[in-house]
Amino acid sequence: MTGLKTSKLLGGSLLASLAMSVAAFAQDAAAPAADAAAAVVAEVAPHVDKGDTAWMLVSTMAVIVMTVPGLALFYGGLVRSKNVLSVLTQVFAGFAMIALLWVAYGYTLAFNGATDGSGLSNFVGDFSKFFLVGIGPDSTTTTFSAAFLLPEMVFVIFQLTFAAITATLIVGAIAERMKFGALLAFLAIWFTFSYIPIAHMVWYSGGLLFKLGAYDFAGGTVVHINSGVAALVACLVLGPRIGYLKEPIAPHNLVLTYIGAGLLWFGWFGFNAGSNLEANGLTAIALLNTITAPAAAALVWILCEKISRGHASALGAVTGAVAGLVAITPAAGFAGVAGAMVLGGVASVVCFWAVVSLKQMFKYDDSLDVFGVHGVGGIVGALGTAIVATPSLGGYALGEAAAYSWTSQFMIQLEAVAIAVVWSGVVAFVALMIVKVVFGGLRVAESAESDGLDIATHGEHAYNS
C-alpha cells in the first residue's frame, strides 16, 4: 500500500509539473500578443503630445509677432510721419487691453458653455471659467483627432492672440483722427459684443454656425469679416480726415510697411497652420497654402496696377499679399494647392477693385483700407472656401468626399457671412454711439489733427533731428 501511494504521489507531481510548464509556455507565448494589444491601446488612448504642444506654443508666439510689431509697423508706415507713433501706440495698447479682457471673460464666453445649442448657448458661453478658474497645468481640451489632446492653457493663449489682432485691425480704418481713449473704449465694447459671440458661434461645438456646418479654418468670418465691417462702420461714423480727397495723404515710410508685411506673412503661418491644433500633414498643407495664396495674390495685384496705372508698386505687392493671406485664412486647411492659388488671385482682383474703385465711388475714408482688404477679402475667402474645399478639385472637405456638395456648402457660407456682417455692423455702430456720448465726441480737435496725434495725444515725435 505504501509503495502504491508513493507511486501515485510521484505521478501526480509529474503531471502537475507538466501542467505548470505548459501553462507557463502558453503565458510566454501570449505575452508578445498582449504587449502588442496594450501598445495599440496606448497609441489610440487620448493623450497630450509634446510635439503638438510645442508647435502650438511656437504658433502662438508667431501670431504675437504678427501683431506687435508686424501689424503696427505695416500700419505705421502707411500714415503720415506726424501720426506714426499714434498708430503704433493704438495697436500696442489695444493688444494689451484685449489680452487682459480675454483672460478675464473672453475665453469663458467664447469657448465654454452648453454644447446642445439651446437658447443663449447658440450665441455665447457662460462664466464658469471666469478669469480661467479651474484651468491648470493638467487641464486639457480636444483637437481635431480623437487620440490627441492639447493643454487647455495653450489653447487659451493661442486664441488670445486671435482676439487681440482682430480688434487691432480696426485701428487702420480710423487712423489719424480718433481720440485714443475713445478708441480703446470702442474696441473693448466691440470685442465683448461682437468678437466673442461670433467666435463662439463659428468655433464652439454648441455655436449656431458651427452646428450649421460653416467652414472657417482660421478666421475668415471671425477675424476678417468681423473686423472689416466694424472698420467700415467706424470710418463712416467718424467721417473723413481733414483734406481727404482734396490734398495728397501719402504714406510716410513704405520701408516700415514692407517690414511689417514680412512680419505679418511670417506670423500668418502660426495663424493658419496653427489653427489645425496639431503638427501633422494637414498642418503642412495649411502652411503651404499660406505661401502660395499670397504669392499669387501679390503678383496679380501688381499686374492689375500695371494694366490700370502703368506701373507695379511695392505697396501694391505687399497689399496684394495681405489680400491673399486674408482670403486663404478660412480655407487654409480645406483647399488644395491649386485652389489656394486661384483663391488668392481672385481675392486680389476683387480687393484691388474695392480699394481703387469702390472707395472712390462712395468716398468713405477707410484710412488704410481695412474694409477693402480684410472685409472684402474675408468675404471672398469665406464664400470661395466652399468651392476650393471640393474633393474633386483637390480640396479637403469634411466627411465623405462623394457626399460633398459645394453649392450646398456655398449657401451655408453665405448665411455665415451675412450673420457676421450684420452682427458686427450693428454692434460697431451702437458701440460708437455709446462712446461718443461718454467721451463727448469721437474725434480729436481739428487743431490736434492738423498738428498730428503723435504730439497732440502722446507728447512725442517719431523722428527727432
Q: Give the span between the Cα atoms of 63 and 263, in whole angstroms.
A: 9
- What pLDDT shows up at residue 114? 83
Contact 82, 451 (CB under 8 A): yes
- Cα–Cα dist 76/86, whole Å: 8
Q: CB neighbours of 45 closer than 8 A, spacing ≥ 6? A: 147
Task: Please tell me the predicted confidence (pLDDT) of residue 4.
Answer: 32
Low-confidence stretches of the chain (pLDDT < 70) are: 1-44, 117
Nearest to 429 by CA among 144, 225, 186: 186
From CA 353, how far away is CA 323, in angstroms rounded? Answer: 12
At residue 117, the pLDDT reads 64
Cell numbers for 433, please give them: 454711439
Neighbours of 82 (CB within 10 A): 20
Q: What is the edge-to-edge ordering of all strands in the sheet holding 140-142?
A: 47-48, 148-151, 140-142
SS3 253: coil
Q: Whole-prediction pTM value?
A: 0.89
User: How many Cβ atoms from other residues are within 10 Å of residue 222's Cβ?
Assistant: 27
Could you report the per-residue pLDDT of 181-213, keeping only the tens digit for each? Answer: 999 999 999 999 999 999 999 999 999 999 999
Provide φ and ψ at 200, rounded to 5°. Answer: -65, -45
For Cα atoms 389, 391, 397, give the angle at the middle one, nearest 5 degrees: 45
Rg (CA), the chain: 28
Q: Are 415 and 212 in contact (CB under 8 A)?
A: yes
| Opening angle at CA 284, ends 279 and 287, nearest 5 | 110
The sign of the torsion formed by the CA atoms of 367, 368, 374, 380 equals positive
The dihedrals phi and psi of 302, each to the nearest 5 degrees, come to -70, -25
- Segment 53-62, tens digit of pLDDT: 999 999 999 9
Mode of pairing for the β-strands spanning 47-48 and 148-151: parallel
Residue 248, preceding peptide bond in cis (omega within 30° of 0): no
